[in-house]
Structure 1
């Protein structure tokens, strides 16, 4: 009796797994063209994907610059609260940091035009 029950459970398990496999078979999404278009051939398409990768790296650099300035500003603010630095120091850090981030974004924009 247990062997018949085992066979029935096995058949039910196989039916459920085959149903799940059939449901899970979906079409893969198509790959999106790069921002400059697919290009005339494989080499142009690769260059256009490399351009998009360069732009992404530039965005990551700008993000890291912003986070670095923000982190340093917070540490100087903590030093101001502990009376180790003055408010002038914090103003200088924020001002120079903001200018630095603007210059970095400007340079990255110029670099994107050159690419």
Structure 2
């Protein structure tokens, strides 16, 4: 009985794999093509790889900028919490907000300027 179940399951697996391979082109028909990097797709494999690397470096820079913005907001929330404890004043919160906005803006500006390099 066990042999018969194993044979049946092996045959079912073979049928499933064969049918999936036969209809793969139909399933993949709706998938959009891979987009080219921003630097272009021409010039050979190495140039295309370099363009993808430039996009990757830009993405890392934007993620670091987002992290900096999150840290600025977190510091502002912490300062606001310290106001209720009496450890800080609204002047400290204003200073934190102004410095944080300037730092976050400068970070995003530098990342957008770096896009011209790549």
Same fold (TM > 0.5): yes
* Runs (5+) with no aligned partner, structure 2: none
By relative contact order (CA 8 Å, sep 6+), the higher-ranking structure is: 2
Q: How far apart, in 2, do the equivalents of 1:43 and 1:8 lie?
A: 54
Conservation of the 8 A alpha-carbon contact between 1:39 and 1:48: no
Shift of 1:74: 1.4
Give the CA deviation at 1:24: 5.2
Give, in whole Å, the separation in 2 of the partners of 1:59 and 1:23. 44
1:16 to 12, 16, 40: 12
CA RMSD of aligned residues (A): 2.2
Matched, 1:94 2:97: yes
Give the Cα–Cα distance (whole angstroms) in 1 for the partners of residues 78 and 48 of structure 2: 45
| Structure 1 length-normalised TM | 0.81
Match of 1:60 among 57, 60, 63: 63
- The alignment covers a number of residue pairs equal to 111
Aligned to 1:113, the other structure's residue is in SS state: coil
Residue 31 of structure 1: CA displacement? 4.5
SS in 1 for 2:36: coil
Quick one: distance in 2 between partners of 1:23 and 1:75? 59
